Amino acid sequence: MKLRCKCDHIIVDQTDNLENKGYILPDTYVEDVSVTLTDNIDSLIEALKSDKRLSWIKNKFQNGYPTTLKDSSMIHDLVSNKIVETTQDIFECENCGRIAIQVGQTNQFKYFFPDSEETKGILKGKKK
C-alpha cells in the first residue's frame, strides 16, 4: 500500500517491521482479542484431548487450510485475523512528522500535524 501525505511525501507500506507504522487497538476490542486467544486455546486443547483436531480445524478455518501446522501457528493465525479486523493502521510521515490514522476499517486516513519538531520519530520502536 502507498499513502500520499499532505506534504506530498509517499508513505510506502510494502514490507514488515516498519519503523513508522503502528496499530491502534480501540479499548472496546481489547477483550475481543484476548478472548479470541484464550477461547481458541481452550477449545483446541479440548479437541486434542478427544482426538478431534481435524474437525476443530475444519470448524475454525476455510477449506484448504493445512492440517499439518503446529498448534501454535493455528492459534497465531486466529489471533492475527482478529487483530487485522479490529485494529487501525497508524503511520508517521518520515518527511513532515504527520501522523496518518486509518479511519475505522476503511481505506481512508486522517492526518494530524505534530506540535513541534521534537515530536518526530514518536513511533520508533525497537528494530528487530
Neighbouring C-alpha atoms within 13 Å toward the C-beta of 8: 0
Amino acid sitting at position 102: Q
* Residue list 56-85, contact with Zn ion (CB under 5 A): none
Residue 96 interacting with Zn ion (CB under 5 A): yes
For residue 70, CA distances in Å to 59, 64, 76, 120 come to 17, 16, 10, 41
DSSP three-state, residue 30 = helix
Residue 93 interacting with Zn ion (CB under 5 A): yes
Q: Which stretch binds Zn ion (CB under 5 A): 31-39, 46-54, 61-69, 86-94?
A: 86-94
Residue 120 interacting with Zn ion (CB under 5 A): no
**Gap between the Cα atoms of 62 and 107, Å rounded:** 25
* Least Å from the CB of residue 90 to Zn ion: 14
Residues 9-38 as x/- pattern, contact with Zn ion by CB under 5 A: x-----------------------------
**Gap between the Cα atoms of 82 and 35, Å rounded:** 10
Q: Which residues bind Zn ion (CB under 5 A)?
A: 5, 7, 9, 93, 95-96, 98
